[in-house]
A and B are shown apart, each in its own frame.
Chain A
Amino acid sequence: MESADQFKAVQPLQYYKRFLDQNIRPDGRRLQEARTTTVNVNFCTHANGSAMVRIGNTTVCCGVKAEITTPSVTQPNDGIIVPNVDLPPLCSSAIQSGPPTDYAQTSTKLIDDILVSSNLIEKKDLCIVPSKYVWVLYCDIVCLDLDGNLIDASLLIKLPVVSVNEKTGKLEYDHAKTTSLTLRDEPIATTFAAFDSDAIIMDPTLEEENLCNGSFTITLNKEDDICSLFKPGGTELDNQKLQNCLKHCKRRVNSVRSLMQNAVSS
């Protein structure tokens, strides 16, 4: 047992490859198996909507706050959605306090892109009085425990959150009438990590993310169409492998979708 630990410490990549050759991962998962996922909605009473998602050890929580603002001159009928991914120094020893890290910034941008491309929330729905008042939704995502696969967890969060977060009320007269916002779509992301020995694994942990030489994230919408594919460099992929991943991705998305429905309805 001790020698296995030593081998892992000295040559972590070799250690992983031995496992991957046997179609299994050191934590006992199959290559295309995700970690246990739990979804919890509305944990915070001060937010208009909130959710907490755990994938294995990775914990992310998100609160959405709706406020009133004036729209931009060019798009007077459009509401504004501002996502932000925050990686506080609380969540990992690798992060120091200070301005957001590059990783947090790319994550924020990716989530913003997915929100736009999936048309999750129709911006026209957020309009109160054209060119005067619109809603702005601040979607703040805070990572509490960084153990790989941040994006997947972050995206999961969006959904249950926004389903309960709209309040109508005009600036002068205040109706406290609450209507929930219609969601046009359900984007769900799955991240894969590729090791060069042709092994592609789903839902990598932090350790696996650090060792692998390329990861990519596929986001599927309600109709199982791809609404975002994010692959920042890394090893090359051929079409065959990608199709294969897509198949696994669809399976994963279905299980996640039922999880979320359970969480929202309970």
Chain B
Amino acid sequence: MPTDTKRLPVPETSICPSTLIEDISAKKLPLISNNKRRDDRLCTQLRHVYAKLKVISQAQGSAYIEIGNTKVICSVYGPREVKKRDEFSMDGQLCCDFKFATFSCPQRRSHLSDNEEKELSQQLLNALSPAVCLNKFPKARVEIFALVLENDGSAFSAAINCASLALVDASIELYDIPVAACVRYDGVNLIVDPQLNEEYSHQESNLSEENGQVLVAYLPVLKQISALNHVGCLSSKVLNQSMKLCIEATQKMHTIFQECIKEKVKSIMD
């Protein structure tokens, strides 16, 4: 068993008390009743979005985003010179790191990146890189760090949004601002921007049923999709529908972000 010598010793095992309390009532509750979701939203309704640029004084660019209770902070450093590099390339390099804070989820997370975080870091990179003008900073690297402070569903799409706002704040040249949104399908209904108790999970799903979740990162001005992530099992018809819903949601978010950026530009001009 690997031990972390750089941190104070922790007990080998510990149990989260919430796992002991069987929360049957919440899980058995239908996603939709009387056309309303568990938190009284309509199927296509987004949660409240709050975004702020320039929150970290030390970073070139940074952003903070709150979608409902989901809170993500992101900072961008660079372009910085790359000292060691295997291959010469005239294109710049993007480097993404996605992390959940240890206290952000119902289950405590480890300080070290787990497989899920590593995979999501890679996905974040894939979603952002089509939008960044990499040819503008040859031989250099831009580093993007996203940290989830609280995960109440759709944390990854919030991280993509936060990262693209931070890139804007850092004045990195972009072709477009990638905006992401998430849609969950439970076999009957399509719901936009799922919160934590509405999200798809492998444990709960029944493989015989159609059930899944789709995430789309969209470039609203170019009208292109930069990333599409899909888990679960969906028919192509439902997939099409959910992609359409995702794109509608990203367009709503895009107007919010535009306001946010406009405000920042105004404050610089004054």
Assuming the contacts A45-B152, A89-B143, A136-B11, asked whether A65 and B103 have C-beta atoms less than 8 A apart, the reply is yes
Partner of B16, one of A61, A67, A91: A67
B57 and A147 form a contact (CB under 8 A): yes
In the bound complex, CA of A183 to CA of B104 (Å): 24
A142 and B7 form a contact (CB under 8 A): no
B13 and A69 form a contact (CB under 8 A): yes
Q: Closest CB-CB distance, B11 to chain A, in whole Å? A: 4
The main secondary structure of chain A at its interface with chain B is mixed
A99 interfacial by beta-carbon distance below 8 Å: yes
Closest residue of chain A to B99 (Cβ to Cβ) is A88
Interface residues contributed by chain A, number (CB under 8 Å): 49
A131 interfacial by beta-carbon distance below 8 Å: no
Chain B contacts with A in 104-141, Cβ cutoff 8 A? 104-106, 108, 111
A224 interfacial by beta-carbon distance below 8 Å: no
Pick from A18-26, A168-176, A209-217 the stretch touching chain B. Answer: A168-176
In the bound complex, CA of A67 to CA of B109 (Å): 12
In the bound complex, CA of A194 to CA of B96 (Å): 39
Assuming the contacts A84-B8, A86-B111, asked whether A142 and B101 have C-beta atoms less than 8 A apart, the reply is yes
Q: Closest CB-CB distance, A72 to chain B, in whole Å? A: 8
The A-B contact count (CB < 8 A) is 132
Mark each residue of chain A from 158 to 190: 1 if its CB lies under 8 Å from any CB of chain B, else 0.
Answer: 000000000101010010100000000000000
Some 24 contacts from A to B, beta carbons below 8 A apart, are A44-B104, A45-B152, A46-B106, A46-B151, A46-B152, A57-B57, A61-B101, A63-B103, A63-B104, A67-B16, A68-B14, A69-B11, A82-B8, A83-B8, A84-B7, A90-B56, A90-B147, A92-B58, A109-B8, A136-B11, A140-B101, A144-B56, A145-B55, A145-B57
| A contact residues around B11 at 8 Å (CB) | 69-70, 80, 82, 136
B108 and A105 form a contact (CB under 8 A): no
Residues of B within 8 A of A (CB): 6-11, 13-17, 20-21, 55-60, 69, 71, 73-75, 77, 97, 99, 101-106, 108, 111, 143, 145, 147, 149-152
In the bound complex, CA of A45 to CA of B147 (Å): 16
In the bound complex, CA of A147 to CA of B15 (Å): 36
A46 and B143 form a contact (CB under 8 A): no
| A contact residues around B150 at 8 Å (CB) | 43-46
| A contact residues around B99 at 8 Å (CB) | 88
Partner of A90, one of B8, B14, B73, B102: B73
In the bound complex, CA of A169 to CA of B73 (Å): 34
| B contact residues around A83 at 8 Å (CB) | 8
A64 and B17 form a contact (CB under 8 A): no
Closest residue of chain B to A52 (Cβ to Cβ) is B149
| A contact residues around B6 at 8 Å (CB) | 99-100, 105
A15 interfacial by beta-carbon distance below 8 Å: no
| A contact residues around B15 at 8 Å (CB) | 67-69, 171
Partner of B103, one of A97, A109, A140, A169: A140
Partner of A67, one of B69, B97, B108: B108
A66 interfacial by beta-carbon distance below 8 Å: yes
| B contact residues around A61 at 8 Å (CB) | 101, 149
| B contact residues around A167 at 8 Å (CB) | 17
| B contact residues around A16 at 8 Å (CB) | none
Q: Closest CB-CB distance, B240 to chain A, in whole Å? A: 35
Assuming the contacts A83-B8, A90-B147, A112-B8, asked whether A67 and B58 have C-beta atoms less than 8 A apart, the reply is no
A169 and B151 form a contact (CB under 8 A): no
B108 and A65 form a contact (CB under 8 A): yes
Mark each residue of chain A from 107 to 139: 1 if its CB lies under 8 Å from any CB of chain B, else 0.
Answer: 011001000000000000000000000001010
